[in-house]
């Protein structure tokens, strides 16, 4: 008895209360619904919310950008989020198993796995660099504060005057430095930029010149993967406990940095630069394209993670409510992070006497150059640096947990043997080791070039294609009526009409718009002044196509191996739902999912539900026909009258 109580405590149960059993004992469930919500928030809220959205906002009209941003959230972001959550929850399967709904489209699941693999490899490298900066911040003086280090060049010019000289010399130096700053701004390289390039990366001159492995970065990469593995050692049972901290503490840090930021001189100018609306930009198609793309990518649609996380929900969980909460939280975090970033950048611009636009940046340039440099201007700067990079680590880990779990769940579900399910930890370890080894080239002197190449190509238009095909498959191949009934069976109510319209028409149109926008706005990738060679761009496009090409290859394979004497017969059979498609547990397989001869709740055969379903289908068809022809007095005329019509009480 004592052993059972102790085991319950380890599983997160409250002493004195009965231990909650999983609904799906074979596969497992979340300990409670808060764990799922926090995990999904951690997955959706990542580094892009901090280092990409604020930059997009100020570049695309400030506060005016929020209008198309929230329009895209309502008509594309939340519907797609709800679609993926309901898809995974209904079948209780990962991104591969759910395609029993239409086996020919299983290549979409493989495409999601390929995308998650690419992102998981380079995302953990970014986390490991944040770990490196975190460790380097454990000092009395941040190493990127001054220009008197071995890695600095003669072009280095700091924003902090040296305190080791007397006050008069310091004042004179500050005046000269300030004049030089204003007159010759273009030649200045900051200590933080040189620390990033020459100390952290020791960057080479070409993407093909790998040079040596940066051992400190390699060590931090190992730390990153060990942390991710330990947090996922028991799957969602362990990661569900970790997210109580990793998903919530970043908001504590953001709030601390925000309070500190708005008390600084120039912070108001930075925030005004971030939010001042330029309404004329709303008429620019690029602004709408950026808004749609940011919503799509920041929510993590088509990565497979949403399907995977939802698959561990209990069958009747209200994923409709969850999708709205998580999506709005994600977007609100992006807006909030903008205040934190631009308050500090406004202070830095005020200190230098320049416009905010000259210090604003995005991506690694913001996280590892601009913001760290601004932190050196604050009293007790190491404390603020520790907080900032700890926040980046937690934001990255929240996403990385789901990326790794997506791959592990797909493998375990696909093999499906008792041994693989019991030894899921071994699979997790194997995937982590492979991910670490594939990330080693990104720790070389050319690693930053490859990291940015993967970020720009491996998870770009391929995600849009995958998401569009998923919508088409569910709504038009499997059938929107079938899916709406599945959702109703699961939630107890049909999806609201707004979501039904978005799933069938609006969201696919917006996704197509994002794809067209991405193609039209395409520009070859560059890094600062470095232009990528054609062979590198070819590799980038190959990575992008490697996930999309899975779809037609598997479709042809499935058609070739389906039953039928002709191509058309094979095609029809390949898109039919698999016999095992439906709820995972027998207790939930009712109505059209009930096995032949299954006993109903009253002990009789499960026939009544099937009859009622057939009546519903007939009623829907009649309703559609009745709307086709309207008389002048508002009455409906049936073009093919039935000689023995059923009595209609409303007539």
Distance of alpha carbon 383 from alpha carbon 401, whole angstroms: 27
Distance of alpha carbon 68 from alpha carbon 571, whole angstroms: 41
Task: Provide the annotated binding site.
Answer: 42, 44-45, 49, 298, 330, 395
Please answer whether residues 123 and 396 qualify as being in contact, where contact means their C-beta atoms are separated by less than 8 angstroms.
yes
Residue 567, phi then psi, degrees to nearest 5: -65, -40
CB count within 10 Å of CB 277 equals 14
For 324, 494, 500, the CA distances from 487, given in Å and listed in that order, are: 16, 6, 11
- Identify which of 143, 149, 146, 195 has the alpha carbon closest to the alpha carbon of residue 173: 146
Task: Provide the annotated binding site for Na(+).
Answer: 42, 44-45, 49, 298, 330, 395
Residue 294: strand pairing partners:
none
Distance of alpha carbon 296 from alpha carbon 302, whole angstroms: 9
Distance of alpha carbon 72 from alpha carbon 80, whole angstroms: 11
Q: Which helix (H) or strand (E) holds 245?
A: helix 236-246
Distance of alpha carbon 32 from alpha carbon 21, whole angstroms: 11
Token output for 215:
């051992």
Residue 531: strand pairing partners:
526
User: Which residues, in sequence order, are CB contacts of 271 under 8 Å at separation 6+?
Assistant: 262, 339, 342, 343, 346
Please answer whether residues 469 and 551 qualify as being in contact, where contact means their C-beta atoms are separated by less than 8 angstroms.
yes
Distance of alpha carbon 507 from alpha carbon 468, whole angstroms: 9
Identify the three-state secondary structure at position 530.
Answer: strand
Residue 156: strand pairing partners:
189
Distance of alpha carbon 465 from alpha carbon 469, whole angstroms: 6
Taking every pair of Cα atoms in the chain, the longest distance, rounded to a whole number of angstroms, is 107
Distance of alpha carbon 248 from alpha carbon 327, whole angstroms: 16
Please answer whether residues 359 and 266 qualify as being in contact, where contact means their C-beta atoms are separated by less than 8 angstroms.
no
Please answer whether residues 104 and 575 qualify as being in contact, where contact means their C-beta atoms are separated by less than 8 angstroms.
yes
Distance of alpha carbon 87 from alpha carbon 620, whole angstroms: 23
3-state helix, strand, coil in the chain (%, to 5): 70, 0, 30
Distance of alpha carbon 279 from alpha carbon 60, whole angstroms: 10
Token output for 355:
């416009």
Q: What distance, in Å, lies between the first and last C-alpha atoms of the chain?
A: 67
User: Which residues, in sequence order, are CB contacts of 40 under 8 Å at separation 6+?
Assistant: 85, 306, 309, 322, 326
Please answer whether residues 102 and 577 qualify as being in contact, where contact means their C-beta atoms are separated by less than 8 angstroms.
yes
């Amino acid at each position: 008895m004592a052993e059972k109580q102790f085991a319950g405590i380890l599983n997160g149960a409250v002493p004195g209360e009965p231990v909650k059993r999983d609904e799906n004992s074979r596969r497992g469930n979340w300990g409670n619904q808060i764990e799922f919500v926090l995990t999904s928030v951690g997955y959706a809220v990542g580094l892009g919310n901090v280092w990409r959205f604020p930059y997009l906002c100020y570049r695309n009209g400030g506060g005016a950008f929020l209008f198309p941003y929230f329009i895209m959230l309502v008509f594309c972001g939340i519907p797609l989020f709800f679609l993926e959550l309901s898809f995974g929850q209904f079948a209780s399967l990962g991104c591969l198993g759910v395609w029993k709904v239409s086996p020919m489209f299983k290549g979409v699941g493989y495409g999601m796995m390929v995308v998650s693999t690419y992102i998981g490899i380079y995302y953990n490298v970014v986390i490991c660099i944040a770990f490196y900066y975190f460790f380097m911040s454990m000092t009395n003086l941040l190493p990127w504060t001054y220009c008197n280090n071995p890695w600095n060049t003669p072009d280095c010019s700091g924003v902090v005057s040296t305190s080791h000289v007397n006050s008069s010399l310091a004042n004179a130096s500050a005046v000269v430095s300030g004049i030089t700053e204003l007159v010759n701004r273009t030649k200045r390289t900051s200590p933080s930029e040189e620390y990033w390039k020459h100390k952290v990366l020791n960057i080479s001159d070409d993407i093909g010149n790998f040079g040596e492995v940066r051992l400190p970065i390699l060590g931090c990469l190992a730390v990153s993967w060990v942390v991710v593995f330990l947090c996922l050692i028991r799957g969602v049972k362990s990661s569900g406990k970790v997210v109580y901290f990793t998903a919530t503490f970043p908001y504590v840090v953001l709030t601390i940095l925000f309070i500190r930021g708005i008390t600084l001189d120039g912070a108001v100018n930075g925030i005004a630069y971030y939010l001042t609306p330029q309404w004329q930009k709303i008429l620019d198609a690029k602004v709408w394209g950026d808004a749609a793309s940011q919503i799509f990518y920041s929510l993590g649609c088509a990565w497979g993670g949403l399907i995977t996380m939802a698959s561990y929900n209990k069958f009747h969980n209200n994923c409709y409510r969850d999708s709205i909460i998580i999506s709005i939280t994600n977007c609100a975090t992006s807006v909030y992070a903008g205040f934190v970033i631009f308050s500090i950048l406004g202070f830095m611009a005020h200190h230098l006497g320049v416009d905010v636009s000259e210090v604003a940046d995005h991506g690694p340039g913001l996280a590892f150059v601009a913001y760290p440099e601004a932190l050196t201007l604050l009293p007790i700067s190491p404390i603020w640096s520790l907080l900032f990079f700890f926040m980046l680590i937690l934001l990255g880990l929240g996403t990385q947990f789901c990326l790794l779990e997506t791959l592990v769940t797909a493998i375990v579900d696909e093999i499906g043997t008792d041994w693989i399910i019991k030894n899921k930890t071994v699979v997790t370890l194997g995937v982590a080791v492979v991910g670490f080894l594939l990330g080693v080239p990104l720790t070389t002197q050319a690693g930053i070039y490859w990291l940015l190449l993967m970020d720009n190509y491996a998870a770009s238009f391929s995600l849009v294609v995958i998401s569009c095909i998923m919508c088409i498959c569910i709504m038009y191949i499997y059938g929107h009526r079938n899916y709406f009934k599945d959702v109703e069976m699961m939630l107890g109510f049909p999806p609201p009409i707004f979501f039904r319209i978005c799933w069938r028409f609006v969201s696919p149109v917006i996704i197509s718009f994002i794809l067209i926008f991405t193609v039209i706005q395409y520009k070859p990738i560059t890094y600062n002044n470095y232009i990528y060679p054609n062979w590198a761009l070819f590799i980038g496009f190959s990575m992008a196509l490697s996930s999309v090409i899975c779809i037609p290859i598997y479709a042809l394979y499935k058609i070739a191996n389906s039953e039928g004497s002709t191509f058309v017969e094979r095609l029809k059979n390949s898109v039919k739902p698999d016999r095992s498609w439906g709820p995972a547990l027998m207790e939930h397989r009712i109505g059209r999912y009930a096995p032949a001869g299954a006993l109903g709740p009253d002990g009789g055969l499960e026939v009544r539900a099937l009859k009622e379903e057939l009546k519903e289908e007939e009623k829907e068809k009649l309703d559609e026909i009745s709307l086709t022809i309207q008389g002048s007095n508002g009455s409906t005329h049936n073009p093919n009258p039935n000689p023995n019509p059923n009595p209609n009480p409303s007539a």
